[in-house]
A and B are shown apart, each in its own frame.
Chain A
Amino acid sequence: MKRAFSCLLVFLLVPFSLQAKLELSLAADLVYNQGLNEDSDADENLSMRSVEFGVSAPIDHQFSGYVSFASHEQEGAEAVEVHEAYIHNAKLIPNTEFKIGQYFLGVGRLNRFHRHEWSFTRAPKSHRDFFDEEAVFDTGIETRTLLSAKHFVELTLGVTSGYNYGHSDAHEHEEDEEVDHSGEKPHAPTHYMRLSQFIEDSDSAASGMEWGLSYLGRTDAEGEKLHLAGFDFVKKERVGRKLAWLIQSELWFKSLKHSDGDKEEQLGGYFMLEKGHSAQWATGLRLDGLMDLSHEHAGEDKDNAYYGATLQQTYRSSEFFSTRLSAAHEFQRVEGRTRDQDTRLMAQLIFVMGAHPAHDF
Chain B
Amino acid sequence: MKIFWPLLILILSSPALASLKVVTTTPDLAWAVKQIGGEEVNVESLLRGTEDPHYVDAVPSFIVKVRAADLLCAVGLELEAGWLPKVRGRAGVLESPYCEFGRSIEALEKPKGPVDRSMGDVHSSGNPHFYLSPSYLVQGAGAALQELKKLRPEKSSFFDKRYEKFVERMNSFQNEISQKLEAVNERPFLQYHQEFTYFFKSYGFKSAGSLENIPGVSPSASRLAQLSLELKNQNVSLVLAARHAPLATLERFQSLSDIPFLRLPLGMIEGKHESYFDLQNELASEILKHAK
Contacts and interface: CB of A to CB of B under 8 A. Distances in A.
B92 A149 contact: no
A137 to B, nearest CB: 20
A278 B68 CA distance: 36
Given A90-B91, A359-B83, A149 B64 contact: yes
Contact of A319 (B51, B58, B82, B92): B82
B246 interface: yes
Interface stretch (A4-12, A33-41, A203-211): A203-211
A195 to B, nearest CB: 13
Interface of A: 58, 61, 64, 88-91, 95, 97, 146, 149, 152, 154, 196, 198, 200, 203-206, 208, 210, 236, 238-242, 278-280, 318-320, 356-361
A204 B217 CA distance: 23
Most central of A239, A242, A361 by chain B CB within 10 Å: A361
A319 B60 CA distance: 21
A90 B246 CA distance: 40
Contacts of A205: 46-48, 51, 56, 59, 61-62
A317 to B, nearest CB: 8
Nearest to B78: A356
A358 B48 CA distance: 21
Contacts of A239: 244
B164 to A, nearest CB: 32
A203 B50 contact: yes
B50 A204 contact: yes
Nearest to A317: B217
B204 interface: no
Contacts of B60: 152, 154, 196, 198, 210, 361
Contacts of B94: 58, 64
B242 interface: yes
Given A58-B94, A149-B68, A319-B82, A360 B58 contact: yes
6 shortest A-B CB distances, which residue pairs? Answer: A240-B244, A90-B92, A198-B60, A358-B86, A206-B51, A361-B57
21 contacts: A58-B94, A95-B67, A149-B64, A149-B68, A196-B60, A205-B46, A205-B48, A205-B59, A206-B50, A206-B52, A240-B51, A240-B55, A240-B242, A240-B245, A241-B54, A318-B216, A320-B117, A358-B58, A358-B82, A360-B57, A361-B58
A166 B46 CA distance: 38
A146 B46 CA distance: 18
A261 B205 CA distance: 80
Nearest to B25: A205
B246 A152 contact: no
Contacts of A280: 218
A356 B82 contact: yes
A304 to B, nearest CB: 39
Contacts of A61: 95
- Of A204, A241, A242, A280, chain B has the most CB atoms within 10 Å of the CB of A241
Contacts of B57: 206, 236, 238, 359-361
Given A149-B68, A279-B246, A318-B216, 15 more contacts: A88-B89, A90-B91, A90-B92, A149-B64, A205-B48, A205-B59, A236-B57, A238-B55, A241-B55, A279-B218, A280-B218, A318-B117, A320-B117, A359-B56, A360-B58
B235 to A, nearest CB: 30
A241 B95 contact: no
Contacts of A320: 117
Contacts, number: 104
A198 B59 contact: yes
Contact of A359 (B86, B117, B218, B246): B86
Contacts of B48: 203-205
B56 A206 contact: yes
Given A318-B117, A320-B117, A356-B82, A146 B64 contact: yes
A64 B217 CA distance: 34
A95 B92 CA distance: 9
Contacts of A95: 67
Contacts of A198: 59-61
Contacts of B117: 318, 320
Interface in B85-123: 85-86, 89-92, 94-95, 117
Contact of B52 (A200, A240, A358): A240
B64 A152 contact: yes
A64 B52 CA distance: 29
B191 to A, nearest CB: 16
A157 B174 CA distance: 54
A108 to B, nearest CB: 16
A238 B82 CA distance: 15
B166 to A, nearest CB: 26
B216 A206 contact: no
Interface string B24-43: 00000000000000000000
B61 A208 contact: yes
B244 A97 contact: no
Contacts of A97: 90, 92
A64 B94 CA distance: 10
Most buried by B among A95, A205, A361: A205
B243 interface: yes
Interface string B243-283: 11110000000000000000000000000000000000000
Given A149-B64, A241-B55, A241-B244, A357 B82 contact: yes
Contacts of B244: 239-242
A357 to B, nearest CB: 7
